[in-house]
Structure formats: C-alpha cells, structure tokens
Amino acid sequence: MKTLIYTTCFVIASALFTKPVRAQNFDTVQVKTVKITDKIYMLQGEGGNVGVLTGNDGIVLIDDEFAPLSEKIKNALTAISDKPVRFIINTHYHFDHTDGNKIFGEQGAIIVAQDNVRRRLTTDQFLTAFNMKQDALSYSALPKITFTDSVTLHLNGETLKVIHLKNAHTDGDALIWFEESNVMHTGDVFVRYGLPVIDSEHGGSIDGMITGTENIMKIADANTKIIPGHGDLASEKDVADFKAMLQMIRNKIAGDIKKGKTFKQITEENLFTQYNAVFDRSAFILMVYDSLKK
C-alpha cells in the first residue's frame, strides 16, 4: 500500500520538487521582488521563498532556491542593493531551499543553519515520498555556522533571531524573526499551498508542525509580516488558520487510529477535500498517519 501511495505522490508532487529539477526550463522562470520594508524583501521564483535583508553589512538571504536560478536571484538583488551576499540562513535541508548554496557558498557567503541541516546536507538523502535522492553538497555549499536551539545575528541594524522549531516539517527547521521590523520567515513549517509536506522520515511530525505554528504565533502579532516557505506574504491570522487545519486533521486521524481503523479505512472515509492539495491527498494522510503511529 505504501509503495502505491508514494508512487502516486511522486507523480503529482512534481510541482513541489521533481518538476523544477528534472523537467522545467529554468530560463522561463521569473524572479519576483516583493518589498516589505525599506531593507527587507521577499523574492519568489521557483522553490522556497527567499527572504532578503539589505544594508551596509551586506546582503543576508533566507534560503536560496535552485542553483540554476542563482544568476536571476543576483540580478534581482542588484536592483535593490549594491552589496554582496554575505550570509545565508537555511530554514531546512530540502533542496528547493538550499540548492543555491552551491553558487553563493562558492562565492564566499557564510551559511548558517540548524545542526541537523548540516548533517542532512553532508550526506545523500532519499525522499521516499517523492521517490528521489537529494545528493550531498560540496564543502563550500555546507553551513559553516550551526546552532542547536537558537542563534542571534546582528546585521544591518536588525536583530535576527533564528529559532529551531523542533520536529516540524523536518528535524532542522528554523524560524527567522527580524525583531526591529517585525518580519519573519517561517520556512516550510508554514506554507500557503494547502495541505503541507511533513517529512516524517527525516524527523518531521504533525504534532511538531502544530507546535511550530504555535511558536510562530507566540512571537507574531497582528502587524507581523510573515514570509511563508511557499506562497504570498501572510499575516498572523493566516498562520492561525493553517494551525486550525492541521489540528483538525490531526485530531480526526488520531481518533480513527484509536478506534483501530487502518490507513486504508481512514483514506476511504476522509480525504479532507475541503482543503487545497498540490500533491496526492492519500500521501499526505499517510505522512500524518505514520507520524502519529511513531
């Protein structure tokens, strides 16, 4: 059953991971710049959203998308700053957020990430849900500064609090809060495409996702500008709605497990069709089911 579901997931999930790497012509991708404050921006291309902090200390990037898009990202950065990229903070290890490390790291940017991100990027990883391997990165593309629970960077007049959100989307997720400007980047602990990916084989969990959104909301207020891992700029209310969705799904599946229902019975009874899905719904339910069974 799992093999069948994972295969279906692989076919449909190409919009998230596989299509950009294996099929898409990156020449057609346009990088959109969204201004949030006078020195903080969001770049949207293909893959995870890129956060940008500009100033005299140089550019700080939050994630860096796919390596083939690095020149387009650099062109977008040139339009808003004449400084080089000095720091990159990876929100987690998935390559749609870290592949650009290959280019920016080689050019001297210092990469910062949670301990588990470096551990994942140092060795080959296999993503069963997408039936694909993520190759280990070279030394220049690896994080040079790592942290366990949190680290604080003081750059360009901003206090960047980088906080580990444990066992949420993966085992190495980080929330980045620009304290003075009240802007945050959540990585894929919060996304805006509907039912999320929960990488349970690499430490992710539905309970961790819920706790992660709660921790985001402990910091955010009604005025916080939130850069999600994917999707348009968001607010605290959007995170609250996302958390409510996760909580409802978690409680329903956990209740079914307690009643002794099998994965097949659960999927036959409820595919949560009221929520948008960019990959197979059964695969998402399996991620939650496996997470709760663990």
pLDDT of residue 5: 34
**Measuring CA to CA, which residue among 141, 202, 136 is closest to residue 171?**
202
pLDDT in tens, 49-97: 999 999 999 999 999 999 999 999 999 999 999 999 999 999 999 999 9
Mean pLDDT of the chain: 92
- Residue 125 has, within 13 A of its CA and on its CB side, a CA count of 21
Over residues 106-114, the mean pLDDT reads 98
From the CB of residue 60, how many other CB atoms can be counted at a distance below 10 Å? 28
Q: What CATH number does domain 2-293 carry, 3.60.15.10, 3.50.30.40, 3.40.50.150, 3.30.1380.10?
A: 3.60.15.10
pLDDT of residue 16: 44
pLDDT of residue 132: 86
CA-angle at 201, arms to 42 and 294, nearest 5°: 120
Over residues 274-278, the mean pLDDT reads 93
Whether 129 contacts 10, CB under 8 Å: yes
Distance, in Å, from the CA atom of 118 to the CA atom of 98, rounded to the nearest integer, reads 11
**Measuring CA to CA, which residue among 257, 279, 278 is closest to residue 269?**
257
Distance, in Å, from the CA atom of 197 to the CA atom of 181, rounded to the nearest integer, reads 29
Distance, in Å, from the CA atom of 41 to the CA atom of 63, rounded to the nearest integer, reads 13
pLDDT at 144 over 70: yes
Over residues 200-220, the mean pLDDT reads 97
pLDDT in tens, 155-167: 999 999 999 999 9
The reported pTM is 0.92
pLDDT at 15 over 50: no
